[in-house]
Chain A
Amino acid sequence: MSDEQNSVSDILEDNTYKYGFTTDVESETFAKGLNEDVVRAISKKKNEPQFMLDFRLKAFAKWKTMKVPEWPNVHYPPIDFQNISYYSAPKQKKVLNSLDEVDPEVMRTFEKLGIPLDEQKKLANVAVDAVFDSVSVATTHKKKLMEVGIIFCSFSEALQEYPELIEEYIGSVVPVGDNYYAALNSAVFTDGSFVYIPPDTISPMEISTYFRINTEETGQFERTLIICAENSYVSYLEGCTAPQFDTNQLHAAVVELVTLENAEIKYSTVQNWYAGDKETGKGGIYNFVTKRGKCQGDGSKISWTQVETGSAITWKYPSCLLLGDNTTGEFYSVALTNGHMQADTGTKMIHVGKNTRSSIISKGISADYSSNSYRGQVKVGKNATNARNYSQCDSMLVGDKSSAHTFPYIETANSSVQVEHEAATSKISEDQLFYFESRGISRENAIEAVISGFCKEVFKQLPMEFAVEAQKLLTLKLEDSVG
């Protein structure tokens, strides 16, 4: 590790998974297994208020009665939930007064990932919460945000400092028993990020969380809660990587967003978890995530943008619950699968309020032996007069061994609604690449041009630097697959 300081683009230069290293830090890890005592122990370890323990126990009781969902178009051997450790934290002093007290190995890990955390090198206009295995290790720019009243801290800290906010909102968007993995997360989550934007505030910078799984047999169960009060705005970014192991690691996160009247949350993800060996399919992350936003106040808006390029299996449907009148939900997604990856991803747009609008732009790219499914639900309730939805789901196939599937579900209980669905499948072909080459354009630039053209509508939603990196990431992953 020494003093390497790779930028994200340096890391991307070579076509192997560069994030596949592990960091040697002393950590405190619970013995494998899951029972009520483990749930209590996690809560105790984190010195949580009673309501949080009650929430966990309720979730755990619910989880025990539930079954692993079998409807997604993905296939994997049953997970042994007793063979996972539910808590792993880098050992450190109890209270960190400054970043200097974070284990230098952990700091270097994030630096190597292109996420400098120390005060001198912090990313200029992005506040970062870095989550290492189960716990948040550092949050930058806190003071600057606090000056305008924005709370941005780890979930554990929020539980100590702002328990009333957590109690009011946790589980209000994703109830404890929502689905199998959400219930599991609700019982055993260890940390995550908390953001509160007070009324009439535009966040002066992008806020982001960077997730890193380091330990082989630990599950990562983090929780993100973002509340955006009246007339406020925040843009939130999320990035993820993990080391390369032959075994599969489970990542089961829950993200809850709440917007009050006229507020807007823009949530962007670039997911690059280790996807397993390209040839054998061995190893990789199981990414079973529940993300949901609730447009509670009238005129509010939630926009999800995701670029999914990693994980052995992705099972993820960032959704919007459009409760208030005149609320807007958006979903922009690029999901790339290659090697033996399987993705079943999409969204749910639930229209409850009047004049609610939603749009879905989904771009699936499948290469090699991978399988890529879009699954989307548009549901319009009987009171959602004049609701409108527009969905566009495009698939691009690379090579002839991959597959793409589209599963749209549309349900409307109101006759004044307008729902449009468009879908198209295309191929990135050898002929297209030859055409570019015969004009003196390299194969690499040709792939980049075709892919970024295909994903244009999604990339333009991403913050600038993220869009550039996302484009490079996709090109790099596809270079070996075309032809």
Chain B
Amino acid sequence: MLEIKDLHAGFDGNEIIKGISLSIKKGEIHAVMGPNGSGKSTMAKILSGHPAYQAMSGEILFDGKNLLEMDAEERSLAGIFMGFQYPVEVPGVNNAEFLRMAHNARRVKAGEEEIDPLDFDDLLSEKMKMLGMEKKYKERNLNDGFSGGEKKKNEILQMAILEPKLSILDETDSGLDIDALRVVSEGVNKLHNENNALILITHYQRLLDYIKPDFVHVLSNGKIVKSGDKSLALELESQGYDWVTTAN
């Protein structure tokens, strides 16, 4: 599904990712871990198509297509979802209305008719019920005045509506209390199936107590220094990042 080949990338000409290769198949969950400044967030931004970040060399193929030639809108429509670390607040734009716009953009892309507001409301209610989310998420404005936990929950709601093929969740666990973390992870688990894939970008292993990765990659200084299965995360937890980064 996703093929990253010897990627070098960064912003303002500063190289932060210094040669990463990674292959992700459908049905898989990959965790990308690493200390602060290791290039985790840059990797998320490059994958989502943030205009301030550029690839210097290497390539990224998504379902065989050159991802680096697509803008953020095209990537989303192709089935990539970015769960932001700091979702932006948009006062004045109703959350449900925003979700309907996003949903309709997909329908239009697929040559289908736009959904009418009432049918969309049914769809939204169903997804919210599945995720155990309160009604207020429909009524409020997009992330406006949301707490950190509410913002992250709202990202998962968007993921549920958009049904992406590949989701990249950037530090989704940061700033969450234990209850919110549980709600968010349960949601992610419900949405995961054999046809989609997940990249979890995280500093701490506690998220991986809830969402079980098939692969764990440790990033340090812009490179993957170690890859393994779930046990690698536990080892990191007990020994700290120095264990892998100094070994490099």
Looking at the complex, which of B3-11, B102-110, B115-123, B197-205 is the stretch in contact with chain A? B102-110
Looking at the complex, which of B15-23, B44-52, B124-132, B222-230 is the stretch in contact with chain A? B44-52
Q: Report if A437-B101 is in contact (Cβ < 8 Å); known contacts: A432-B88, A449-B93, A450-B92.
A: no
Q: Which of A432, A439, A450 contacts B105 (CB 8 A)?
A: A439
Judge whether B77 and A440 touch: CB under 8 Å: yes
Judge whether A440 and B109 touch: CB under 8 Å: yes
Say yes or no: is B82 at the interface (Cβ < 8 Å to chain A): yes
Judge whether A450 and B73 touch: CB under 8 Å: no
Say yes or no: is B76 at the interface (Cβ < 8 Å to chain A): yes
Q: Which residue of A lies closest to B74 (CB)?
A: A440
Say yes or no: is B146 at the interface (Cβ < 8 Å to chain A): no
Q: Which of B49, B92, B101 contacts A441 (CB 8 A)?
A: B101
Which residues on the B side are within 8 Å of A456 (C-beta)?
Answer: 92
Judge whether A445 and B88 touch: CB under 8 Å: no
Residue of B94, B102, B158 ringed by the most chain A CB atoms within 10 A? B102
Say yes or no: is A435 at the interface (Cβ < 8 Å to chain B): yes
Which residues on the B side are within 8 Å of A432 (C-beta)?
Answer: 88, 90
Is the interface on chain B under 10, 10 to 19, 20 to 34, or 35 or more residues?
20 to 34
Q: Which of A431, A440, A452, A453 contacts B88 (CB 8 A)?
A: A431
Which residues on the B side are within 8 Å of A454 (C-beta)?
Answer: 91-92
Judge whether A438 and B72 touch: CB under 8 Å: yes
Q: Report if A440-B162 is in contact (Cβ < 8 Å); known contacts: A435-B84, A449-B98.
A: yes
CA distance A436 to B102 in the complex (A): 8
CA distance A454 to B101 in the complex (A): 17
CA distance A442 to B109 in the complex (A): 12
Which residues on the A side are within 8 Å of B82 (C-beta)?
Answer: 438
CA distance A442 to B108 in the complex (A): 12
Count of chain A residues with Cβ under 8 Å from any Cβ of B? 22
Minimal beta-carbon separation of B54 from chain A (angstroms): 15
Say yes or no: is B71 at the interface (Cβ < 8 Å to chain A): yes
The contact string, 1 if C-beta is below 8 Å from chain B, for chain A 399-437, is: 000000000000000000000000000100111101111
Say yes or no: is A382 at the interface (Cβ < 8 Å to chain B): no
Q: Report if A453-B77 is in contact (Cβ < 8 Å); known contacts: A435-B84, A438-B49, A440-B162.
A: no
- Residues in A421-480 with C-beta less than 8 Å from chain B: 426, 429-432, 434-443, 445, 449-450, 452-454, 456
- Residues in A371-415 with C-beta less than 8 Å from chain B: none
Q: Which of B71, B76, B109, B141 contacts A439 (CB 8 A)?
A: B76
Majority secondary structure, A binding face: helix
Say yes or no: is B175 at the interface (Cβ < 8 Å to chain A): no
Judge whether A449 and B101 touch: CB under 8 Å: yes
Minimal beta-carbon separation of B132 from chain A (angstroms): 22
Say yes or no: is B145 at the interface (Cβ < 8 Å to chain A): no
Residue of A429, A439, A452 ringed by the most chain B CB atoms within 10 A? A439
Which residues on the B side are within 8 Å of A453 (C-beta)?
Answer: 90-94, 141
CA distance A453 to B141 in the complex (A): 9
CA distance A456 to B98 in the complex (A): 15
Say yes or no: is B37 at the interface (Cβ < 8 Å to chain A): no
Judge whether B71 and A437 touch: CB under 8 Å: yes
Which residues on the A side are within 8 Å of B101 (C-beta)?
Answer: 436, 439, 441, 445, 449
Q: Which residue of A lies closest to B51 (CB)?
A: A434
Judge whether B90 and A442 touch: CB under 8 Å: no
Judge whether B90 and A437 touch: CB under 8 Å: no
Q: Which of B87, B91, B94, B97 contacts A435 (CB 8 A)?
A: B87
Which residues on the B side are within 8 Å of A450 (C-beta)?
Answer: 90, 92-93
Minimal beta-carbon separation of B169 from chain A (angstroms): 13
CA distance A449 to B77 in the complex (A): 19
Q: Which residue of B lies closest to A454 (CB)?
A: B92
Minimal beta-carbon separation of B100 from chain A (angstroms): 10
Judge whether A442 and B73 touch: CB under 8 Å: yes
CA distance A453 to B89 in the complex (A): 13
Minimal beta-carbon separation of A260 from chain B (angstroms): 38
CA distance A437 to B102 in the complex (A): 9
CA distance A438 to B167 in the complex (A): 12
Which residues on the A side are within 8 Å of B48 (C-beta)?
Answer: 438
Judge whether A437 and B73 touch: CB under 8 Å: yes
CA distance A348 to B89 in the complex (A): 34
Q: Which residue of B lies closest to A430 (CB)?
A: B51
Judge whether B73 and A440 touch: CB under 8 Å: yes
Minimal beta-carbon separation of A432 from chain B (angstroms): 5
Q: Report if A440-B106 is in contact (Cβ < 8 Å); known contacts: A445-B101, A449-B101.
A: yes
Which residues on the A side are within 8 Å of B49 (C-beta)?
Answer: 437-438
Which residues on the B side are within 8 Å of A430 (C-beta)?
Answer: 51
Q: Report if A438-B90 is in contact (Cβ < 8 Å); known contacts: A449-B98, A453-B141.
A: no
CA distance A456 to B106 in the complex (A): 26
Q: Which residue of B lies closest to A363 (CB)?
A: B92
Which residues on the A side are within 8 Å of B105 (C-beta)?
Answer: 439-442, 445
Judge whether A441 and B102 touch: CB under 8 Å: yes
Judge whether B90 and A435 touch: CB under 8 Å: yes
CA distance A197 to B18 in the complex (A): 76
Which residues on the B side are within 8 Å of A435 (C-beta)?
Answer: 84, 87-88, 90
Residue of B84, B93, B109, B162 ringed by the most chain A CB atoms within 10 A? B93
Judge whether A438 and B76 touch: CB under 8 Å: yes
The contact string, 1 if C-beta is below 8 Å from chain A, for chain B 61-73, is: 0000000000111
Q: Which residue of A lies closest to B73 (CB)?
A: A437
Judge whether B88 and A437 touch: CB under 8 Å: no
Q: Which residue of B lies closest to A442 (CB)?
A: B73
Minimal beta-carbon separation of B61 from chain A (angstroms): 19
Which residues on the B side are within 8 Å of A445 (C-beta)?
Answer: 101, 105
Which residues on the A side are within 8 Å of B94 (C-beta)?
Answer: 453
Minimal beta-carbon separation of A395 from chain B (angstroms): 13
- Residues in A168-212 with C-beta less than 8 Å from chain B: none
> Could you list 18 examples of A-B contacts with CB < 8 Å?
A426-B91, A429-B88, A430-B51, A432-B90, A435-B88, A435-B90, A438-B48, A438-B82, A438-B84, A439-B105, A439-B162, A442-B105, A443-B73, A449-B98, A452-B92, A453-B93, A453-B94, A456-B92
- Please name 17 further chain A to chain B contacts, defined as beta carbons within 8 Å, in addition to the given A445-B101, A449-B93, A452-B92, sorted by A numbering: A426-B91, A435-B87, A435-B88, A435-B90, A436-B98, A437-B71, A438-B48, A438-B72, A439-B76, A439-B98, A439-B101, A439-B158, A440-B102, A440-B162, A441-B105, A443-B73, A453-B141
The 3 closest A-B pairs by CB, nearest first: A453-B92, A440-B76, A439-B102
